[in-house]
Amino acid sequence: MESAEFAEPAAGTDPSAGGPLAGVRVIDMATVVMGPYAAQILGDLGADVIKIESPNDTVRVGALHRTPGMTPLNLNVNRNKRSVTLNLKDEGERARALELIGTADILITNMRIEALRRLGMDYDSLAADHPRLVHVHAQGFRPDSDRAKLAAYDETVQAASGLLDLAQRAGDVGAPVVLPSIIADKVAALTIVYAALAALVHQRATGRGQHVEVPMVDTLLAFNLVEHLQGLTFEPPMGPTGFPLSMNKGHRARPTKDGLAMIIPYSPQNFRDLFAAAGRPDLAGDPRVNGEFIDAQRDGEALAELLETVTPHLTTEEWTEVCTKHSIPVGPVLRLDDAPEDPYVREGHLLDVAEHPSEGAYRVVGIPLTFSATPASVRRHAPLPGQHTQEVLAEIDRGEVRR
């Protein structure tokens, strides 16, 4: 079991020194996953991230915890941050929050526009006093649309962005199940990150901040349409939406002698090589695998069924060797419960164990990228609610941060 070693920086030190975003300050005033995950990524990249939060944030509520509020989801979206608890409805504490915002390069929030205006924390209210501030606002639907006041959750965004339609058509089912991942929140979070960084480049060049709006539905719809716009790309349309390979009902994991593997032969030669490796060269004469290409729309399901009559002949490891030899896409199906002991995960330090000051031993989701000159790092454990309130406010009072 690998052990990740990192310690809380001493008060008054620069916790972001060495990262590509060293010297950048981010105020995370968002809740749940989308905004906090984006802010965490900026923190991983070296930014000094201060989270202004309520102790009742959804990510701090759950059955699994050792200390109240320190849930798995909280540990996975709030590392590399300092937590400041302020009641924004209280005039004095709101004033302190505004002081903190005044020290920041980037503000991330997912509050409704009306609530931000009441607090004096919308872009128009802040821009005059803080012209360098990059104000990133995210919510479910565009604020200027007739859906702006609809409550948005990952499931409803998957529906409104066309993702459930794709799932229904690909699975040929009456009631599609949502993708078992909060993909809308996480795709929007990644969009927040690149949008904030682009605005930061502009700020560094001009000295001016700006308002950045990230609507979840628009973001996920654009994400889905990259490949799925298909025939509707042209006007008039040349066909329906839906990327044929992704919509192919035979696009599924295959049974092997000892488990499951994602074996995806794309070309006629791929199929013939697989049949030969399974000891069924007779199947290589099938006319469907002897043309110029595989017609996935016409033959995908039938060829998948044929393929699955031979894949149980070899183990997953044996198929991996065969596919590697013949340049056929292959991947073992990872059971998430087995991830900590998976050699690839271990070698990449993607789930090392660290010692949290209040939670004890826990697994830290690794940073999935590397920089040769300015490495990203995990420097702070996810904090307790309000853990750094006095420390951060004292820094402001001492004038340690100026923008």
Query: CA angle at residue 98 from 93 to 104, to 5 degrees?
Result: 135
Q: Distance between CA 340 and CA 346 in Å, rounded?
A: 7
**138 with 216: CB under 8 angstroms?**
yes
Pairing status of strand 106-109 against strand 25-29: parallel
Residues of 149-170 as b/e, b for ≥16 C-beta within 10 angstroms?
eeebbbebbbbbbbbbbbbebb
How many residues are given for the chain? 403
Separation between Cα atoms, residue 261 and residue 246, nearest integer Å = 17
DSSP-assigned beta bridge partners for residue 107: 27, 135
Bridge partner list, 363: 353
Number of H helices, E strands in the chain: 15, 11
Helix, coil or strand: residue 266 = coil
Tokens, residue 294: 């595989």
Q: Which residues have a Cβ under 8 Å from the Cβ of 204 and sit 6 or more positions away?
A: none
In 88-215, where does DSSP find H-type helix? 91-101, 113-119, 123-127, 154-160, 163-171, 183-206
Strand pairing class (330-332; 260-263):
antiparallel
Residues designated catalytic: 185
**CB-based contact 219:157 (threshold 8 Å):** no
Residue 126 CA to residue 193 CA, distance in Å, equals 21
The DSSP 8-state label assigned to residue 327 in this structure reads T
Could you give the CA distance from residue 114 to residue 143 in angstroms, rounded to a whole number?
10
Going edge to edge, which strands form the sheet with 260-263? 254-255, 260-263, 330-332
Q: Assign residue 339 a region (left: φ > 0; alpha: ψ between -120 and 50; beta: otherwise).
A: alpha
